[in-house]
Amino acid sequence: MASPVDPEEFTAALRQYPAGVCLLTVQDDIDDVGTTVSAVMSVSAVPPLVAVGLAADGYPAEVLGAVGRCALTVLAAEHAIVASRFSSAGRPSARHLLESVPWTRAEHSGAIVLSGGLAALDCRLERLVEAGDHVLALLEVVGVPVLADAARPPLLRLRGRYVDESGGLAGRA
């Protein structure tokens, strides 16, 4: 049964909701894959679980399903350019997009985490759940390799733009 809600109207309504921005990375046998995600939510503290929405037909979801582990870095407002790079279609290896950005590898997943992120989660894939044109990746958090001490502003996505907590454009000097 078709939904009575117009998809464009639905998308426009949800654009009014500010969301935190993360970088999801996966290391497979060939390369490092990354994508910008803003559909991230805490699911449980015991056991520690988060859920991430990914395009069902996208390469990151395919690689995550095959590898079974990933990392999430919570981005600071200063990472707006990084978020833009990883949200573009046809992007090269994650390592090439991060040439001037300090990063390390998470212990369990081996995936890239940004050293300057607000936080990073090392994760094991619990399961993928089909959800329309997306999948929800239910992730068990097995480590927290980055947890920033300083209170830097987070990167948010609002109305199709990256903004800081004040609503101003992020990543500008």
Secondary structure tally for the chain: helices H, strands E: 4, 12
Q: Torsion angle of alpha carbons 11, 16, 21, 23, nearest 10°? A: 10
45 in a domain, yes or no? Answer: yes
Q: Are 43 and 50 in contact (CB under 8 A)?
A: yes
The pTM score is 0.92
117 in a domain, yes or no? Answer: yes
Query: 47-100, pLDDT tens digit by residue?
Result: 999 999 999 999 999 999 999 999 999 999 999 999 999 998 776 678 888 988
166 in a domain, yes or no? Answer: no
Specify which residues 143 forms β-bridges with: 122
CB count within 10 Å of CB 97 equals: 20
128 in a domain, yes or no? Answer: yes
The tokens of 28 are what? Answer: 């497979």
Listing DSSP states for 91-160 in one string gives ---HHHHTTTS-EEE-TTT--EEETTSSEEEEEEEEEEEEETTEEEEEEEEEEEEEE-SS-PPBPEEETT
Q: 138: domain range?
A: 7-160
152 in a domain, yes or no? Answer: yes
125 in a domain, yes or no? Answer: yes
Query: 125-143, pLDDT tens digit by residue?
Result: 999 999 999 999 999 999 9
137 in a domain, yes or no? Answer: yes
Rounded distance between C-alpha atoms, residue 99 and residue 43, angstroms: 33
Rounded distance between C-alpha atoms, residue 3 and residue 5, angstroms: 5
165 band by pLDDT with thresholds 50, 70 and 90: confident
Closest CA to 27 of 117, 146, 107: 107
* CATH code assigned at 32: 2.30.110.10
Residue in the block written with tokens 């040439």? 99
132 in a domain, yes or no? Answer: yes
Domains of the chain: total:
1
